[in-house]
Each structure stands twice: as C-alpha cells, then as structure tokens.
Structure 1
Amino acid sequence: MNTLLDNLDVFTTGFRTTIILFLVSGLFALLLGTVVGAMRVSPIPALRAFGTLYVNVVRNTPLTLVLFFFAFGYPKLGLPEIDFTVSAIVGLSLYTASYVAEVLRSGINTVPVGQAEAARAIGLPFVQTLTLVVLPQAFRSVLPPLFSVLIALLKNTTVAAGFSVYEAGAIRAYLAERGEPALTVLLWVALFFVILVLILAQLQRYFEKKWKVAR
C-alpha cells in the first residue's frame, strides 16, 4: 500500500493518460470502423476493395509497427509535426478501426436480407438503408465482440509507453528509478486495469439488457 500512496501522483497521471488514450482512440475507431465496415458491404466494387485492403493490411500489421511509423516515420514525410500522444491516438484508432469494421461486417451479415429489401422497396437509398435499418440491428447483435475489441484497445494503450507516452504502461519504469519494487508496482497496475475492464464489462451488460428490452 505504501508503494501506491507514496507515488499516487505517478499512478494518477499514468492512468489519466491511459483513459484519455482509450476514450479518444475508441471514439475515432468506432467512427472509422463503422465507415470501413459499411464499405465492406457496399454495392460499389471500388469501396469494397478499399475496405478489404484496409482491413487486411492494418489487421496484419503489428501494433508496435503502426505506432513506430507515426512516432518516427511520419515526421520524415515533411508533414506538420504532432506530439507522441497524438501519434499514439492516431495509431491506436487506425489499428482498432480494422477490428471494429470486421465485427460490424459480421453483424451486418446477421441482419435478415428482407430488412434491406423492404427498405429499398419504399425508396430508401443504400446509405439510409444502412444507417436507419441495418446498422442499428447490427450493433445490437455484435455488442459482446465489440466490447471485446474495446477491452483489447484498453490493454493495447500500454504499447504507447514504448514511444515516449507517459501512461500506465510506463509507471513501472518510472518508479523503478525511485527504487520501488517492480513486482509491487506491476501488481497495482494490473489491479487498476482489472477494475477498468470490469467497468467495461458492466457497461456491456447494461447495454445488452437495455437493448434486449428495446427489441
């Protein structure tokens, strides 16, 4: 307990950054993943091809390599500079969006074809059919795997510690310089991650129950 109380500022700062990374990256990943997922089922071949290429390339690229590019490769392109935290958010968002897209695509495929056909029969174009009829049902059906992706994102934020982002993954290295026992620090970090994951699991159960009643 002394390790936690004596270094409360370090734990607070580290996990605050972790939560910011998670929330911002999660939001962008959901938005981008929804767009890419829609491309994957689009009737336009070019959009389907782009969505497939994006998912296959990004999902099969290690997250460490993605973050390495934005931390060290991006500045070499002569583009406007961004700090390491923003680089981590961009990398995490792009990487997680590929998994969100695949989850949503599988959810879209579970929606009965008759739903989309009925929407088109009353004159709705593809975009409105997707956003008003298909996606709301798809989100409900893929809620558990979607939260699993978000939980994976939460844990993936620790990779950013290797690219000069001071978040929860960097706490052990920082406190090692203060002479704190590494195992104790890691146990505290693990405990806080377990608490955050349990909160996400509780949110998942809440939305599952709410949307199940809504049906």
Structure 2
Amino acid sequence: MDILDTFFNWTVFRDSFPLLLLGLTTTISLGVTSILIGLVSGLFVALVRMYAPTPFAALAVAYIDLFRAIPILVLLVLIYYALPFVGLRLSPFAAATSALSLVSCAYSAEIFRAGIQAVPSGQFEASKALGLRYWSMMTFVILPQAFRVVIPPITNNCINVMKDTALASVVAMPDLLKQATQAQALAANPTPLVGAALIYLLLLLPMVRIVGTLERRFAIGKR
C-alpha cells in the first residue's frame, strides 16, 4: 500500500464525507456560538475592569488572568466531568461552549481594553465637554473608534476559537475531529483525518487572509 492509498484514499474519503459534513456543521455551530458569547461578555468585562468600582474591577482582573492562564482542555474536562459532582450536568455542546466562551471572553476583554485605551484622551474630554452621559459617550464616540482598532486582533481571536473547537472531541462532542476519528476507525484508514484537516484549512484560511487584509488597511489609515 503506497502513500496515496494510505492517506489520500478517494473511496474512503467519499464514504466518510457525509460524516465529516455533519461534524463540520457542529463545529461551525459551536464556534460561532462561543465567539458571539465571548465577544459580548468580553466587552462587558473590559468596561467593568476599566470603569467599575475597585472591588468589581479587581474581580474582572482576576477573571481575565485566571482564564487566560488555564488551558482550554483542562477547563473543558473540569466543566464536563467535575460539575456533575456538585449537581450540575451539562451536555457536551453546553460544556464545550462554556469552556470556549469563558476563555474567549478573557482574551476579548484584554483586546477591547487595549482598543479603548488607544482612543485619544481628547475624545473623552470633548465628549464630557458636550455634556454626554457615560453610556452615550461610550456608544457614539469611544467604542466606534475602539472597534476600528480591535478588528484585526478580535478576528485573530475568533480564528483561535474555531481551531480550539477540535478539543471538544474529548467530551464526546460530535464535531469535525470526532467524526473524522470515528470514520478513521471504521475504515481502518487515516484518510478521514486528512480530509478533516483539509476542511479546517478551507474554513480558516479565508479568515487568516481577512486578518492580514485588515491589518494592512488599518496600518495605511494610521499613516
């Protein structure tokens, strides 16, 4: 058996493709859900860290430091296997979404904080001089400028979340990697894993190119 029959067997790939497609749907659902939750909660945590009273700001800092330091795989195992001992049992999808969202939130919070701090202080002073309330200032003046700054790193964080969905297979989540592993076992051939790698590449490569394009565009805008 040569390398083509072992890793690029068309018959095996064709037979396993429906299973891979089903796993891809689950992967996209998991990734998009985790990204949206992470972005919204990350913005909230960033605002709490920067503008809330000291006790709440300290809690936000502790949260960010903790979930940026803990490996996602460890967090996922703790959520799925340890929480049932305290009476909370989550489905594989809910456990994976929770783990990915918690970590994504921590990284997003730091990205948003950096973006807000990048807005010139004169913008804050001008908003206050116009009599804008805090939420009006943030909504109409500060955040639109901060979002422009954070789009490239936020997009890069979204790519990392999509890649980390592969870790959900450890909790029997039927994502793309899990389905590929099962197809490999059924066919006794690694071609489904190669197929899954190619699907990940086709899914993530456009996002990688978008990051590069955005970074160049905003760099030109700064100059």
Give me the TM-score of the superposition, normalised by structure 1.
0.89
Structure-2 separation of matches of 1:35 and 1:42: 11
Tell which structure's C-alpha radius of gyration is larger: 2
Counterpart residue type for residue 46 of structure 1: P
Partners of 1:127 and 1:76 in 2: CA distance: 42
CA contact (8 A) 2:20 2:180 kept: no
Q: What does 1:1-215 align with in structure 2 at a 5 Å threshold?
A: 1-42=10-51, 44-79=53-88, 81-182=89-190, 184-201=191-208, 203-204=210-211, 205=213
In structure 2, C-alpha distance between the alignment counterparts of 1:103 and 1:16, rounded to whole Å: 28
Amino acid at match of 1:111: V
Aligned residues: 210
Distance 1:208 1:70 in 2: 39
> Over aligned residues, Cα RMSD in angstroms?
2.2
The one of the two structures with greater contact order (alpha-carbon pairs below 8 A, sep at least 6) is 2
Q: Distance in 2 between matches of 1:135 and 1:47?
A: 21
Q: Report Cα offsets for 1:51-93 as digits up to 9, x if no partner.
A: 11110011111111111122112222224x3311111111111
TM-score by length of 2: 0.86
* Distance (whole Å) between structure 1 residues aligned to residue 216 and residue 130 of structure 2: 30
Determine what percentage of the aligned residue pairs are the same residue: 29
Unaligned regions of 5+ residues in structure 2, if any? 1-9
**2-side partners of 1:163 and 1:43: how far apart?**
37
Asked whether the 8 Å contact 2:152–2:214 carries over to 1, the reply is no
Q: Tell me the distance in 1 between the aligned counterparts of 2:216 and 2:43.
A: 19
Unaligned stretches of 5+ residues in structure 1 = none
